[in-house]
Amino acid sequence: MQLKKIKLNNIRSYEDEEIKFTEGITLLSGNIGSGKSTILLSIDFALFGVRRGELDGASLLRNGADSGYVILDLIINNKSVSIKRILKKSTSGIAQTAGYLTINDITKELTPVELKQRILELLNYPQEMLTKKSMIYRYTVYTPQEEAKAILLGEKELRLETLRKVFNIDKYKRIKDNYKVLISELKLKKKESAALIYDLEDKKTKLKENEILQKSLSENIAVTNYYINKKLESIAGVNINITKIEEQIKALNNFRKESEIVSLNIKLKQENHLKSQLILEKNLLEIENMSKELNLDIDIVKIRTQIEENNKYIMQSEQELKEILRKISELRTKKIHSHEIKDKITKLDNCPLCEQTVLLEHKNNITNREDQKLSEIANDIKNFETKEKELEQLIFAAKNIIENLKIHESSYKVIELKKLNLNSKKEATENLSKELFLIKEEINVLNNKKIEITSKLNALINIEPDYLKEKAVLDSLMNELKQMEIDRAKKEQELKNINLVNIDLIKEIQFKEDIKSKLEYYIKLSEWMESFFLNVINIMERKVMLKIHNDFNTLFQKWFFMIMNSESIKVRLDEEFTPIIEQNGYDMEYENLSGGEKSACALSYRLALNQIINNLISHINTKDLIILDEPTDGLSSEQLERIRLVLQELNMKQIIIVSHESKIETFVDNIIKVEKDNHISKIIC
């Protein structure tokens, strides 16, 4: 990984600033509190975001600002990567919002967690760091000055635990802890398994007893089946006899039914013959009487002519009557009109047209004229009313004549119908005579058939007792068969129940056998883990720790000697990775060292830690970058010169040093100077 540039907007003492980085050694220079550490924290924030208890938004966002952001441009595995993380203030506090990740000009908006996950993938860091502290970055790339001192000066157990996590060898401790849990679980499993298989042999014995009972029941069922088959053969023989008898009984019943039908038909035919004979005699009498009645002679043509003439007369009279009624209506209308004129002229004082006064003489003239008209109208109405009454009387008389004529016409029709009925009677009588003859013939045929059927019935009359005997035999056989089948069903059900029990027993035995196998496995596994596994883990841990300790100690001594270049003071690591300082043959406490010696010791420890981690985790993509926070405090001018050799020996593509020592400016490739003015940090070159 190589840093290219970082842009800070409203981050701590920075309002809006961009810092560019190059390959080689870069010096972040400036007075204490000028804003150098802010740049390093911003790089950390851009990569991994805020972390509770480690790096929070409130410590990054500039006071008084509502929002801020960091944009970090870098190269990872020849990919151009840009990361933007945003901070926003709200009523609930300062928090990250969604950020942006650009890889080779392809930008995606991601949540803070998604962004961290993608950065871990790009850096090839373990994904477990998504929810844990970034130990690899913290102890290979950038360790804040205070944290570096904490490793050296902290408690041994805490330092050892921290280094175990950094070196990724705390897994051995986890393995041993898990071993204890597993051993405890195995003991529980063994106890549970032993409890589950305590009755395994009893189950096997029960299965064997059931198998013997199964065999016995199967043999008994086979014997029962043999006797059932024999019984079925006997029943089949009886059924054949019964079938034959039933066929004869069926024939007997058919003959009986046929005899009954024939007898019934004979009875019906005889009844029909008697009825037909009576009807014939009645018809002959009616024919004789009807012939006497039909001797009347009526001139129907003359009657119908007279009816037609009277109808024409009635129509003409009714037409004339309508005309009279119309004229009477007109005269009555005129009468009303004359009365209206008289009434109006009497009441009229002035003429409505000329407005002149109407004289009494003129009124009398009009009244007299209208009275004369009314007299004439009254005479005409009286004459027309007289004619109306005469015509109504004539029409009534004509209608009476028509009614009488229609009575004669109806009598004629009745006679005609009776004649038709008479002919029908005669024809029906002839047909009835023929039918009587045929019925008599059919009765003779049916009597002969009845004699024949009676003969057949007499031949089969003794078959029913034989049927009852065979039926009794069949019932007895069926009862015996039913009892055998009940006995077989009981045995089969018992066998079925035993089979089901055996299935369950087999499953249970198999289950317990599996548990027994597992128990044996648990016992062997427990023995193996207790006698072999734990020892192997301890040996592996010791060897790994010894190898790391040796390498760490060698590198620690190497870097310390390069910085101090003195045989009088030496360093080494004890078993807990605690620095031991030896001066002139005597061990010294770290606190008793000079400022330069402390810085040399801390820097050596830091560089050794960096190389050990990079060697152990060779696949990470941050091996070519290291950030050293104030590594030279208290070093002499000569020791600062030797720092140049140390940095060259590191052979890293990008080294960033935070320091206010002007001497370092002489051997770095790039200088970034930070200055704070009026609480605002600026890059001045």
On the question of pLDDT at 524 being above 70, the answer is yes
Q: What is the pLDDT of residues 320-367, one digit of tens each?
A: 888 888 888 888 888 888 888 888 877 777 766 766 776 777 778 888
Question: Which of 191, 198, 201, 197 lies closest to 522 in space, CA to CA?
Answer: 191
Q: What is the pLDDT of residue 129?
A: 65
Q: How many domains does the chain have?
A: 1
CA 411 – CA 300 distance, rounded (Å): 10
Q: What is the pLDDT of residues 394-449, one digit of tens each?
A: 888 888 888 887 777 776 666 666 666 666 666 767 777 777 778 787 778 878 87
Contact between 581 and 573 (Cβ < 8 Å): no
Of residues 326 and 73, more confidently modeled: 73
What single-letter amino acid sits at 122? L
On the question of pLDDT at 296 being above 60, the answer is no
Around Cβ 73, how many Cβ atoms within 10 Å?
20
Q: What is the pLDDT of residue 98?
A: 93
Averaged pLDDT of the chain: 83
Q: What is the pLDDT of residue 137?
A: 80
Q: What is the mean pLDDT of residues 571-595?
A: 82
Around Cβ 297, how many Cβ atoms within 10 Å?
5
3-state secondary structure of 677: strand
Q: What is the pLDDT of residue 421?
A: 65
On the question of pLDDT at 210 being above 60, the answer is yes
Contact between 628 and 36 (Cβ < 8 Å): no
Q: Is 241 within a domain?
A: no
Q: What is the pLDDT of residue 414?
A: 64
Question: Token pair 């020849």 is at which residue?
Answer: 78
Q: CA 623, 96, 35: angle at the middle one, nearest 5?
A: 60
Residues 6+ apart with CB under 8 A from 163: 151, 577, 609
Q: What's phi and psi for 37, nearest 5 deg?
A: -65, -30
Angle between helices 595-616 and 534-564 (to 10 degrees): 140
Contact between 122 and 621 (Cβ < 8 Å): yes
User: pLDDT band at residue 512, thresholds of 50, 70 and 90?
Assistant: confident
Q: Is 405 within a domain?
A: yes
Q: What is the pLDDT of residue 99?
A: 94
Query: Which range is most confident: 168-182, 248-262, 286-300, 609-623?
Result: 609-623
3-state secondary structure of 152: helix
Q: CA 239, 242, 247: angle at the middle one, nearest 5?
A: 125
Q: What is the pLDDT of residue 438?
A: 80
CA 52 – CA 500 distance, rounded (Å): 63
On the question of pLDDT at 288 being above 70, the answer is no
Contact between 99 and 142 (Cβ < 8 Å): no
User: pLDDT band at residue 86, thresholds of 50, 70 and 90?
Assistant: very high
> Greatest CA span in the chain, whole angstroms?
183
Q: Is 320 within a domain?
A: yes
Contact between 26 and 75 (Cβ < 8 Å): no
Query: Which range is most confident: 144-158, 235-249, 653-667?
Result: 653-667
User: pLDDT band at residue 280, thresholds of 50, 70 and 90?
Assistant: low
Say which DSSP state 673 is in: E
Q: Alpha-carbon Rg of the chain, whole angstroms?
A: 69
Q: Is 315 within a domain?
A: yes
Question: Where are the alpha helices (H) located in 22-125, listed in sequence order?
Answer: 36-48, 112-123
Q: What is the pLDDT of residue 406?
A: 79
* Burial of residue 227, with CB atoms counted within 10 A of its CB: 0-12 exposed, 13-18 middle, 19 or more buried: middle
Distances from the Cα of 648 to the Cαs of 45, 115, 605, 615, 641, in angstroms? 29, 34, 17, 18, 12
CA 44 – CA 48 distance, rounded (Å): 6
Q: What is the mean pLDDT of residues 451-464?
A: 72
pTM of the model: 0.52
Question: Which of 681, 646, 650, 577 lies closest to 141 in space, CA to CA?
Answer: 650
Contact between 90 and 31 (Cβ < 8 Å): no
Q: Count of alpha carbons within 13 Å of 673, Cβ hemisphere only?
A: 7
Q: What's phi and psi for 625, nearest 5 deg?
A: -135, 135
Range of the domain at 406: 294-460
User: pLDDT band at residue 586, thresholds of 50, 70 and 90?
Assistant: confident
Buried-exposed string 562-571: b where 16+ CB fall within 10 A, e elsewhere: bbbeeeebbb
Would you state the structure tokens that stand for residue 457, as one six-digit string?
A: 């019935």
Contact between 45 and 60 (Cβ < 8 Å): yes
Least confident interval from 438-447, 480-489, 517-526: 438-447
Of residues 626 and 585, more confidently modeled: 626
Q: What is the pLDDT of residue 79?
A: 93
Residues 6+ apart with CB under 8 A from 579: 152, 556, 571, 572, 573, 590, 601, 605
On the question of pLDDT at 592 being above 70, the answer is yes
Q: What is the mean pLDDT of residues 551-579?
A: 86
Contact between 190 and 526 (Cβ < 8 Å): yes
Pairing label, strands 625-629, 93-96: unpaired
3-state secondary structure of 125: coil
CA 303 – CA 307 distance, rounded (Å): 6
Q: What's phi and psi for 357, nearest 5 deg?
A: -70, 135
CA 443 – CA 455 distance, rounded (Å): 19
Q: Is 335 within a domain?
A: yes
Q: Is 366 within a domain?
A: yes
Distances from the Cα of 282 to the Cαs of 80, 298, 425, in angstroms? 133, 29, 10
Least confident interval from 116-120, 213-217, 279-283, 435-439: 279-283
Question: Which of 682, 655, 637 lies closest to 22 in space, CA to CA?
Answer: 655
Around Cβ 576, how many Cβ atoms within 10 Å?
12
On the question of pLDDT at 218 being above 80, the answer is yes
Of residues 191 and 9, more confidently modeled: 9
Q: What is the pLDDT of residues 49-68, one digit of tens each?
A: 988 877 888 889 999 899 99
Say which DSSP state 358 is in: P
Q: What is the pLDDT of residue 122?
A: 92
Q: What is the CATH number of the domain that holds 397?
A: 1.10.287.510
Pairing label, strands 670-677, 680-683: antiparallel
Q: What's phi and psi for 581, nearest 5 deg?
A: -105, 130
Residues 6+ apart with CB under 8 A from 123: 1, 47, 76, 137, 620, 621, 622
Q: What is the mean pLDDT of residues 27-42?
A: 89
Would you state the structure tokens that stand for residue 212, as one six-digit string?
A: 């013997």
Q: Is 538 within a domain?
A: no
Say which DSSP state 533 is in: I
Question: Token pair 């009893």 is at which residue?
Answer: 202
Q: Is 9 within a domain?
A: no
Q: What is the pLDDT of residue 671?
A: 93
Q: What is the pLDDT of residues 111-135, one digit of tens each?
A: 999 999 999 899 988 776 666 666 7
Contact between 281 and 493 (Cβ < 8 Å): no
Q: Count of alpha carbons within 13 Å of 657, Cβ hemisphere only?
A: 29
Task: Specify the DSSP element, H or E, that contains 627.
Answer: strand 625-629
Would you state the structure tokens that stand for residue 296, as one six-digit string?
A: 């009347």
Q: What is the pLDDT of residue 289?
A: 65
Q: What's phi and psi for 51, nearest 5 deg?
A: -135, 130
Angle between helices 360-460 and 200-293 (to 10 degrees): 120
Question: Token pair 């801020």 is at which residue?
Answer: 68
User: pLDDT band at residue 299, thresholds of 50, 70 and 90?
Assistant: low
Task: Specify the DSSP element, H or E, that contains 95.
Answer: strand 93-96
On the question of pLDDT at 291 being above 80, the answer is no
